[in-house]
Structure 1
């Protein structure tokens, strides 16, 4: 059998050539901002999931459940399409 190698350098020597560089202030700022955005997004998702049942009962009290979900999706599609087409 033949021995085929992808590169001529030894991977262990290649790992040793990297040096540690501390994060810059800009990198820390980006990590903080993206983490904060993720926290807000998950909090919003949690609130929506927790309150969706309560709010749906208030808006669609007299409707049959499958008609309520159809109406809700139709209204959401109408609103989102008007918002997206404006931009």
Structure 2
């Protein structure tokens, strides 16, 4: 999933998330190995959320620039 996020392959990331979700929600053993693996998954998830958040913010900024440009053009055309 991190590789897909780094590559900005959001479709692949979505597919992987759909596959991962039921695996995370099932019952897991309470042994130390499983606990450590869950900790790794959570650490990867935090990194993944940061990448997705950065991409979302970047797209939002781009949309605001484009929207502002369109408004300026419309205002110019009306004058």
Measured against the shorter chain, the TM-score band is 0.3 to 0.5
Task: Give the structure, 1 or 2, with the largest relative contact order (CA under 8 Å, sep 6 or more).
Answer: 2
TM-score computed with the length of structure 2 as normaliser: 0.40
TM-score computed with the length of structure 1 as normaliser: 0.37
